[in-house]
Structure 1
Amino acid sequence: MSTYVGLDVSQKETEICVVDVEGRRIWRGKCRTEPNSIAVALREHAGGAVRIGMETGPLSIWLWRELRALGLKVDCIHARRVAAALSLQVNKTDANDAHGIAQVVRSGWYRAVAVKSLASCRIRAILTARGQLVSIRTTLSNQIRGLLKTFGVVLAPGKGGTFDKMVLSRCPEDALVRSAIEALLCAWRVAGERQRALDAQLIRIARASEVCHRMTSVPGVGAITALTFATTIDDPKRFGRSTDVGAYLGLTPRRYQSGEVDIAGRISKSGDRAARSLLFEAANTLLTRAKKDSDLRQWGLALMIRIGAKKAKVAVARKLAVILHCIWTDGTAFEGAR
């Protein structure tokens, strides 16, 4: 008998619901959130499962990979789509959520999320750690500046060694205040050391990658941006057109159309935030600090005059995403320099 399964995953237990082709519930239960435990339960109660669905979450990549290795046809469904489908439920429980996911899977009214490869996840772990260290360092430096202002010390703009020397030279002589500032400054230094170590590791990985090496031929695109883009896309073949990459990364405008109303809004900002942010920074570098001129830069500068700097940088970021995907799939390098 053909069945459809919904999994509502939590850290300790996973709620399971099995329905038939007409949506009638056949079995409902729970097990530990471990691939083997879930596989045993599914083989016992849903041996003829046509599709198995679960929503995206912290454990979904691991569970998807392990359950697929055990021969189970598992699909990951975007959490926003699941939330929209479950929004009409009167009572929100794990059991009801699993039943709702099973009905979504049975209807087929969803698009399975592409799960990243293990190689991409390993590099993303380093990129994520680096991003956290950058954020921690920024927070600590702002905290130091804020504390010093309490005692009338306003530091001039500066970073790295300049910031370190300014803090030490202008910190009040009060022992309590100095101990607090030195504790924060020590943490700031350690975060910087660990960030630089990860930067060096990421640069080595990018240099060893032929694809990333070609991507860095684009003005404004460095090793971190190339690696972030490559691990976000993971498989370039899943995009039929390079122009679809811009929409995937949330760099295209939202649209609301109903009857005679047709409104183009701000960019959707869907997809990976880190990749979108780094592409915007690359666009800013290309337009404001690039030493070599190119057709892409001239196009962006013309846009800045016509629609403003911020919108022009978003447009260039979207164009960069398309170019990077073309470089990846065509096996070419950037040739737009004048």
Structure 2
Amino acid sequence: MAHYVGLDVSLDETSICALDENGNTVWQGKTSSKPEAIAKALSVKAPEAIKIGFETGPLSTWHWHSFKEMGLPVVCLDARHAKAALSMQVNKTDANDAYGLAQIVRTGWYKEVEVKSMDAHLIRALVSARSNLVQLRTKLSTHLRGILKTFGLFVGTTWNGAFEERVRELCFGIVDLESIVEAQLSVWRSVCEQIENLTRQIQAYVRSDQVCRRFMTAPGVGPITAMAFKAVIDDPGRFRKSSSVGAYLGLTPRRYQSGEVDKSGRISKCGDSLLRYYLYEAANVILSRVRKWSKLKAWGAKLSKRIGKRKARVAVARKLAVILHRMWVDNADFKWSDAQPA
């Protein structure tokens, strides 16, 4: 008899529930969250498992790839869909969640999530690490500016890495302040060095990757945006239509329709927030800095006059994501327009 298995995964232990075709419990228990331990328990307690389901989470990528290598019939469930079903239970326990997940995979009422490759996660980790360090550098420099303002010292605008020199110049001779500032400047300098190292890694990867170089033929798209887009999408074949990429990245408006009520709200902001930020910045560059004319820029310029610059940037970011996906599918570079603005 076929078995359907639900896994409620936590950091140390995983609750397991195996059901038969009629929904009767075959076995319930706990084991270590290591994929090998889970597979060993299933081989003994549910040897006829035809579906093994668990929710998306911090460990889902590791478990999914490990189970696939072992040849197990694993499916990764959308946590939002699973939550809607599990919320019907009176008592919230790990055992009950595992039982609910097993029932979900048995009935087929679930949405399977496409798990990205480990290479895509590695690329995304590189882009994310650089972004976090850039935020830390900004936070340190802002804090230093605030400290110096207290004593009537103003850093002002600095260019080409002159921030450190300007700060030292301002607090020169103030012994107590120098020691406080020096501690933070040493960290700021180290963060800047690591940002440069990660930036060089990104540039080296992009130079050797044909897909990223093709993305960079589009206006406003640099190495970081190209690399982030490739990491998040991973496989362009996941999308039947290129227009679906905008919704996947949270760049389409929410909608509520019931009876006579039909309202559209702000963008959903689901999906990868970092890539969404990079696409928005690329859209801003297209509308304000790129001088070469294109249909995308013309469309964004008309839209900006009608609905405002802020909403136009979001619309251009969405359209840029769709264009990048189509370029990837068609193996084609960005098509510029020969027409000039009126």
Sort the TM-score into its range (normalised by shorter chain): over 0.9
**Rounded Cα–Cα distance in structure 1 between residues aligned with 2:11 and 2:60:** 11
Q: How far does residue 266 in structure 1 lie from its aligned partner after superposition?
A: 0.4
Q: How far does residue 160 in structure 1 lie from its aligned partner after superposition?
A: 5.3
Moved more, 147-156 or 97-106: 147-156
The answer for the alignment partner of 2:263 in structure 1 is 263
**Rounded Cα–Cα distance in structure 2 between residues aligned with 1:199 and 1:275:** 16
Q: Deviations over 1:45-65 (max 9, x none)?
A: 111112111111111111110
In the alignment, structure 1 residue 67 sits paired with structure 2 residue 67: yes
**Secondary structure in 2 matching 1:76:** strand
In the alignment, structure 1 residue 36 sits paired with structure 2 residue 36: yes
| Moved beyond 6 Å, runs of 4+ | none
Letter in 2 for 1:181: V
**Rounded Cα–Cα distance in structure 1 between residues aligned with 2:191 and 2:334:** 35
Q: How many residues align?
A: 338
**Secondary structure in 2 matching 1:149:** helix
Q: How far does residue 87 in structure 1 lie from its aligned partner after superposition?
A: 1.8
The answer for the alignment partner of 2:335 in structure 1 is 335
Listed as ranges, the gaps of 5+ residues in structure 1 are none
In the alignment, structure 1 residue 311 sits paired with structure 2 residue 295: no
TM-score by length of 2: 0.95
**Rounded Cα–Cα distance in structure 1 between residues aligned with 2:192 and 2:169:** 20
The answer for the alignment partner of 1:280 in structure 2 is 280
Q: Relative to structure 1, is the Cα distance of residues 54 and 159 closer, same or farther in structure 2, using a 3 angstrom cutoff?
A: farther
**Secondary structure in 2 matching 1:114:** coil
**Rounded Cα–Cα distance in structure 2 between residues aligned with 1:177 and 1:99:** 61
**Secondary structure in 1 matching 2:162:** helix
The answer for the alignment partner of 1:215 in structure 2 is 215
Q: Deviations over 1:12-55 (max 9, x none)?
A: 11111112223222211111111111101111111111211111
**Rounded Cα–Cα distance in structure 2 between residues aligned with 1:323 and 1:107:** 38
Q: Relative to structure 1, is the Cα distance of residues 149 and 31 closer, same or farther in structure 2, using a 3 angstrom cutoff?
A: same
Q: Deviations over 1:210-230 (max 9, x none)?
A: 111111000100111011001
The answer for the alignment partner of 2:184 in structure 1 is 184
**Rounded Cα–Cα distance in structure 2 between residues aligned with 1:164 and 1:131:** 21
The answer for the alignment partner of 2:105 in structure 1 is 105
In the alignment, structure 1 residue 253 sits paired with structure 2 residue 260: no
**Secondary structure in 2 matching 1:131:** helix
**Rounded Cα–Cα distance in structure 2 between residues aligned with 1:281 and 1:65:** 34
**Secondary structure in 2 matching 1:161:** coil
Letter in 2 for 1:270: C
**Rounded Cα–Cα distance in structure 2 between residues aligned with 1:121 and 1:236:** 16
Q: How far does residue 159 in structure 1 lie from its aligned partner after superposition?
A: 5.8
**Rounded Cα–Cα distance in structure 2 between residues aligned with 1:312 and 1:22:** 54
**Rounded Cα–Cα distance in structure 1 between residues aligned with 2:159 and 2:129:** 21
**Rounded Cα–Cα distance in structure 2 between residues aligned with 1:83 and 1:159:** 50
**Rounded Cα–Cα distance in structure 1 between residues aligned with 2:199 and 2:18:** 47
Q: How far does residue 172 in structure 1 lie from its aligned partner after superposition?
A: 6.3
The answer for the alignment partner of 2:133 in structure 1 is 133
Q: How far does residue 67 in structure 1 lie from its aligned partner after superposition?
A: 0.8
Aligned-residue CA RMSD (Å)? 1.4
**Secondary structure in 2 matching 1:63:** helix
Contact 2:81/2:111, CA 8 A, preserved across alignment: no
**Rounded Cα–Cα distance in structure 1 between residues aligned with 2:220 and 2:232:** 18
Letter in 2 for 1:180: I
Q: Deviations over 1:137-196 (max 9, x none)?
A: 111112212222332333324465132222112226433322121111111111111111
**Secondary structure in 1 matching 2:218:** coil
Moved more, 94-103 or 217-226: 94-103
Q: How far does residue 328 in structure 1 lie from its aligned partner after superposition?
A: 0.3
Q: Relative to structure 1, is the Cα distance of residues 107 and 160 closer, same or farther in structure 2, using a 3 angstrom cutoff?
A: farther
**Secondary structure in 1 matching 2:263:** strand
**Secondary structure in 2 matching 1:301:** helix
The answer for the alignment partner of 1:57 in structure 2 is 57
Instruction: Work out the percentage of aligned pairs sharing the same amino acid.
Output: 52
**Rounded Cα–Cα distance in structure 2 between residues aligned with 1:13 and 1:150:** 52
